[in-house]
Amino acid sequence: MQLPINIDSVKGFLHPDEGKALYDYALECSQSKAIMEIGSYCGKSSVYLGTAAQLNKSTLFAVDHHRGSEEHQFGEEYHDPDVYDNDVQMIDTFKAFRWAMKEARLEDTVVPVVAPSKVAAKHWHTPLGMLFIDGGHSMQAALDDYRCWAPQIAIGGVLAIHDLFPNPEEGGQAPITIWRMALASGLFEEIEVVGTLGFARRIA
Ligand code: SAH
Ligand code: MG
């Protein structure tokens, strides 16, 4: 895997092993279909997914309202003043995201969708080769992401969900809840878990 940018220059929340796994699945899954991520932040995961999609001349749709999740807000644990827009007193990661996509020469491949996940899903009908869910971590946000987007994955396509913490003391339980729902649905079969990143294949 060769990335077009020093990945450490892109802020984000992804272990390099998880990034490599995203890249590998995206390389397989973007051969004949578009791929999608929910939750881009400053574009770290988008670089891995987009670089793979670019090799297949495919498209990565990158959905994020760029206003941050609960934990990114002012005063919260993962707040970063660098991505806080003082004029509007809100998080704005879109500027950093655009910078990263330009630096990585991925603007011919990555289509930013700057909207809440639920709004973006409303008229979506294009079957996806891969879906990466890494958006809001409230139970409502995670359920919305799963319900809105998982049905869009083509049979044979891959569902990836980040921040799986089997031990509740290590992290929030919303992502692993939708992971378990996916596996229990009979529509998805587990492939593997890399770090806190689960991969499952749509089988029905
Ligand atoms: N994938 C990123 C990290 C994503 S952090 C990386 O590799 O570093 C989670 C992101 O989800 C934040 O940028 C936040 O703005 C976005 N988000 C949270 N809830 C959302 C929602 N309902 N719709 C769209 N984006 C959302
Ligand atoms: Mg995450």
Q: For residue 164, name the pLDDT band (cuts at 50, 70, 90).
A: very high
So what's the pLDDT on residue 59?
99
Spatial distance between the Cα atoms of 92 and 89, rounded to a whole number of angstroms: 9
Catalytic site includes residue 137: yes
Query: What is the overall mean pLDDT for the chain?
Result: 98
So what's the pLDDT on residue 110?
99
The percent helix, strand, coil of the chain (3-state, each to 5) is 35, 20, 40
The structure tokens listed for 56 are: 């297949």
Q: What pTM was estimated for this model as a whole? A: 0.98
Burial class of 81 by CB neighbour count within 10 A (0 to 12, 13 to 18, 19+):
exposed
Ligand 1 atom closest to Cα of 10?
8
pLDDT for 180-192, tens place per residue?
999 999 999 999 9
**Ligand 1 pocket test, candidate residues 10, 40, 67, most atoms within 8 A of CB:** 40
pLDDT for 50-103, tens place per residue?
999 999 999 999 999 999 999 999 999 999 999 999 999 999 999 999 999 999
Question: Which of 204, 143, 136 has its CA nearest to residue 179?
Answer: 143
> How many Å lie between the centroid of ligand 1 and the Cα of residue 62?
10
The residue nearest atom 15 of ligand 1, judged by CA position, is 68
Does 149 contact ligand 1 (Cβ within 6 A)?
Answer: no
Looking at the chain, the whole-number percentage of residues with pLDDT higher than 90 is 100
Does 11 contact ligand 1 (Cβ within 6 A)?
Answer: no
Spatial distance between the Cα atoms of 66 and 181, rounded to a whole number of angstroms: 27
So what's the pLDDT on residue 150?
98
Residue 119 Rama label (left phi>0; alpha psi -120 to 50; beta): alpha
Mean pLDDT of 119-139: 98
Ligand 1 atom closest to Cα of 46?
7
Does 202 contact ligand 1 (Cβ within 6 A)?
Answer: no
Does 65 contact ligand 1 (Cβ within 6 A)?
Answer: yes
So what's the pLDDT on residue 127?
98
Does 117 contact ligand 1 (Cβ within 6 A)?
Answer: yes
So what's the pLDDT on residue 71?
95
DSSP 80: -
Check: CB of residue 34 under 8 Å from CB of residue 126.
Answer: yes
Mean pLDDT of 28-56: 98
Spatial distance between the Cα atoms of 190 and 93, rounded to a whole number of angstroms: 32
Check: CB of residue 186 under 8 Å from CB of residue 170.
Answer: no
